[in-house]
A and B are shown apart, each in its own frame.
Chain A
Amino acid sequence: GAVVSQHPSWVICKSGTSVKIECRSLDFQATTMFWYRQFPKQSLMLMATSNEGSKATYEQGVEKDKFLINHASLTLSTLTVTSAHPEDSSFYICSARDLTGQGGVFGPGTRLLVL
């Protein structure tokens, strides 16, 4: 079946640094990928929709200059958290539409801790 991978699985960084998270669709092409953020004990909140070859669409309240999204190929989307602060610490999850277009295939997530 369709699989989505994320790298790294966890990252610890100092406040003010930038962190890049990769989301890859394995064995299938994904023209659209989605980035979610999940705080402890809470639900998933959509941050942005990543479209291959075009600009990402950000949800209301999500700073596009802080969360840079690049979808340069049909199998790779990246999320860069720029000038990270402790409040950016969260679980970041990406997903892609599966081959049938019926559902979302989710990556294993990336835990970010900003000190």
Chain B
Amino acid sequence: GIQVEQSPPDLILQEGANSTLRCNFSDSVNNLQWFHQNPWGQLINLFYIPSGTKQNGRLSATTVATERYSLLYISSSQTTDSGVYFCAVKETSGSRLTFGEGTQLTVNP
């Protein structure tokens, strides 16, 4: 099956800093999503981005499908951004969503 690797595994920032999270995947995909899992476990869908670039407030994401990676940018981070960020993909030939191991983000005041 498809392999999904996220980096870094852990990231600690001061409030106001910017960060970039990366997601590499091993095969062609027709679905890629970024999620934020809050401390209570709820998964929040941030972006559906199988290709191209999208922006939503302080967050933006870019997927370069031909090179099999996606980036999530967080600007002017806030303490409420803390949590785990997951990348999940569905390979073109498949039907299931495969999650990466996540990036644990901690934003300190």
Contacts and interface: CB of A to CB of B under 8 A. Distances in A.
Interface of A: 34, 38, 42-46, 49, 59, 91, 93, 95, 102-106, 108-109, 111
Interface of B: 31, 33, 35, 40-43, 45, 48, 86, 88, 95-102
B48 A108 contact: no
A106 B45 contact: yes
B23 to A, nearest CB: 12
Given A49-B96, A102-B31, A43 B45 contact: no
A43 B96 contact: no
A34 B43 CA distance: 14
Chain A, interface SS category: strand
22 contacts: A34-B96, A34-B97, A43-B86, A43-B99, A43-B100, A43-B101, A43-B102, A44-B86, A45-B99, A46-B96, A46-B97, A49-B95, A49-B96, A59-B96, A95-B97, A102-B31, A102-B48, A103-B48, A104-B33, A108-B42, A109-B43, A111-B41
Contacts of B42: 106, 108-109
Contacts of B45: 103-106
